Amino acid sequence: MTSATTLPKSATGSVALSGVTKVYGRGQHAVLALDQVSLTVAPGEFVCLVGASGCGKSTLLNLVAGLDTISGGTVDVGGVNPALMFQEPALFPWLTVGANVELPLKLAGLPRAERRDRVAELLKVVHLTEFARRQPHELSGGMRQRVALARTLALDTPVLLMDEPFGALDAMTRDILHDELERIWTERKLTVLFVTHNVREAARLADRIVLLSSRPGRIIYETRVDVPRPAGSTPPRCRPSRRR
């Protein structure tokens, strides 16, 4: 496999993958998880990765986040540290809602007063101001995911990576959080790379949908969602852009 090479820096908030390959193991036990994946996400674009379980969607997200090393190709996020949100909220049960959101700011060394102001702002964004002193077990599943989203946004990075964050929620709660996410994305002009196996969810949220094949993961189809925002309950109309 080729080693990672350096690309010219992409624009702030963009994501660029070129010929990305990921292999687990060696020799006869080697497993090719991703094969020559090339994808560019423009600043402010919302792209959904769709595919069957085990096709490499989460692996690709981990490579973009820097949580794993690539076997070949390049990954460029323009010198920023992407924020990553998982399917499970992964909140610390002994901390309050406010303290959970504050944690990454504390680890980053921000002064206490600045942390307090930032937490108040983030809880307002996700409509949880009155729950700042509650603990995770006192919240519904959807509310816990809102806390996780606030914590993900805490460090104010322009690139947001989301790994099936609403997959465990019921349909009504998921629809509410879709509206919340779209509002935050619009207000903050975020670049979002969103992993899901739910085609309806992808059509509801995305500017562009990218389909990965079964293992090894390759991009086999893309389509642009051709409907004005907010999408609401109107079924999106999709226009195929290209096949690979």
* Tokens of residue 180, six digits: 């919340």
Tokens of 118: 């930032």
Which helix (DSSP H) or strand (DSSP E) does residue 210 occupy?
A: strand 208-212
Angle between helices 141-153 and 97-107 (to 10 degrees): 20
Q: Express each pLDDT in 121-150 by its tens digit.
A: 999 888 899 999 999 999 998 899 889 989
d(CA 50, CA 102): 32
How many angstroms separate the CA atoms of 120 and 74, rounded?
Answer: 38
From 75, 96, 58, select the one nearest 21 (Cα to Cα): 75
Cβ atoms of residues 190 and 157 within 8 Å: no
* pTM check: above 0.85: no
pLDDT given for residue 230 in this prediction: 61
Flag whether pLDDT at 154 surpasses 70: yes
Give CA–CA dist 121/225, Å, rounded.
32
Confidence of residue 242 (pLDDT cuts 50, 70, 90): low
Question: Does residue 20 surpass a pLDDT of 70?
Answer: yes
Alpha helices in 41-163 (DSSP H): 57-65, 97-107, 112-125, 141-153
Q: For residue 169, what pLDDT band results from cuts at 50, 70 and 90? A: confident
Rounded Cα distance, 1 and 193, in Å: 26
Looking at beta carbons, which pairs linking 98-103 to residues 24 or more positions away fall under 8 Å? 98/123, 98/132, 98/133, 100/136, 100/147, 100/151, 101/147, 101/150, 101/151, 101/154, 102/154, 103/151
Share the mean pLDDT of the chain. 85
| C-alpha dist (Å) from residue 115 to 4, 46, 84, 109 | 37, 28, 20, 9
